[in-house]
Amino acid sequence: MGGGVNWERLDFPEVGLVHDLIVHTTSSDTVYAGTWFYGFYQSTNSGISWYSENSGLSDTVSIRKIIKDSTTIYIAGNDMSIGAVYQSNQNNIIWVMIGNDGFEQGVNTINFLTNKNKILAGTSGIYSYNITTDIVSEKGKFPRAYLLMQNYPNPFNYQTIITQVSHTLNCSTNLILS
């Protein structure tokens, strides 16, 4: 046993055991890590620096498994009293428990089933949860109001932001932006 002599140790916080690591499928610089009792970490620079991303999780959560689809990250997380599956948007990581109030036995693993329409959770048995969302039709709904505010250019940014605020419209009209 060489004790990892041929491996380069990354500057990861001293949090004990790392249970799971995944690399983002479209951004190879982004890496996610699940730890024992210290939760979820993210690196956006190939592991050079790491950030704790535990909003919505308990202070003592252990992440056993991480999976992701194109927009959402899912984790199997256990704390002292309950195990659960959580989800978060990849761009703004705030964890929300899904499926139920948790599992008393803890959740050891999760994975996708049938084209990612369901998640399987391994605990004191195997459970499935439907992750598809219903799409509510907006057909026939049109804005009744709008107001276009003054733009605020930023000389250091190529974009100009124009704020839109609602205002009542009583008739059809054409708008000219100049």
Q: What is the distance between the alpha carbons of residues 97 and 22, in angstroms, rounded to a whole number?
A: 20
Q: In the prediction, which pLDDT does 177 show? A: 59
Q: What residue type is assigned to position 159 of the chain? A: Q
Could you tell me if residue 144 is inside a domain?
A: no
pLDDT given for residue 172 in this prediction: 60
The predicted pLDDT at position 149 comes to 58
In this prediction, residue 94 carries a pLDDT of 92
Total domains in the fold of the chain: 1
In this structure, of 38-42, 50-54, 131-135, 167-171, the range with the lowest mean pLDDT score is 167-171
Tell which residue, 51, 61, 63, has the closest CA to residue 21: 63
What is the chain's mean pLDDT, rounded? 79
Mean pLDDT of 130-154: 59
Q: What is the pTM of this model?
A: 0.69
Stretch 156-160: mean pLDDT? 60
Is 153 inside a domain boundary?
no
CATH number at residue 35: 2.130.10.10
Beta bridge partners of 110: 121
Could you tell me the pLDDT band of residue 15, with boundaries at 50, 70 and 90? confident
Asked whether residue 125 is assigned to any structural domain, the reply reads: yes
% of the chain beyond a pLDDT of 70: 69
The answer to the question of residue 157 being in a domain is: no
| pLDDT surpasses 70 at 25 | yes
pLDDT band at 163 (very low <50, low <70, confident <90, very high): low
Contact 86, 56 (CB under 8 A): yes
Q: Are 8 and 16 in contact (CB under 8 A)?
A: no
In a 3-state reduction of DSSP, which class is residue 149? coil
Element (H, E) at 76: strand 72-78
Q: What pLDDT sits at residue 74?
A: 93
57-99 pLDDT, tens digit each: 888 889 999 999 888 999 998 887 788 899 998 888 999 988 7
Domain-embedded: residue 83: yes
Full residue range of the structural domain in which residue 97 is found: 18-130
Task: Measure the CA–CA gap between 72 and 70, rounded to whole angstroms.
Answer: 6
